[in-house]
Amino acid sequence: MNSLIFSLLLGAQGGAEGGGSGSIISTFVPFILIIGIFYFLIIRPQNKKQKETQKMLNAIKKGDKIVTIGGIHGVIQTVKESTVVVKIDESVKVEFSRSAIATVVADGGGKAEKVEKIEDKKTETSDDKPAQEGGAEDSKN
């Protein structure tokens, strides 16, 4: 009986060897495609995001405005090896792990440009008004 089972197993292997090379390739191609799709859609973007986050955390310095993972906004007061001290209010300072920082907020560069543009418009209009008023007065006299 054991020899019968053994011969069936050997016979099954021999039959698979005869026409198996095409069958093996067609079996593994979908698995390779799935692995490729997972790599390009999930693994690669996650690795990029992780590298950017690590670069951001390494570039943190005193005075940076940050937002923590919990949504707390504050300003960095002290940078230590694995932690940072964040000033939340005038008298409130909290120590966070570096990994708890979600984002570093820009220093308002866009807002400063808008303020400058508004100020430029005010100075242009104030420069123009005296000239127009003076011209209007001259035409009246």
Q: Is residue 101 within a helix (H) or strand (E), and if so which, with residue range?
A: strand 101-105
pLDDT by 10s per residue, the chain, length 141: 555 555 555 554 544 444 556 788 888 999 999 999 999 999 999 999 999 999 999 999 999 999 999 999 999 999 999 999 999 999 999 999 999 999 999 865 444 344 445 555 554 555 555 554 454 445 454
CATH placement of domain 61-106:
2.30.30
Which residue carries 């099954």 as its tokens? Answer: 12
Give the SS3 label for residue 64: coil
HSE value, Cβ hemisphere, 13 Å, CA-based, for 17: 6
| Alpha-helix residue ranges (DSSP H) falling in the chain | 2-18, 20-38, 44-58, 109-140
Question: Would you tell me how many other CB atoms lie within 10 Å of the CB of residue 16?
Answer: 11
Is there a contact between 81 and 72 (Cβ–Cβ < 8 Å)?
A: no
Residue ranges covered by each domain of the chain = 2-51, 61-106, 108-141
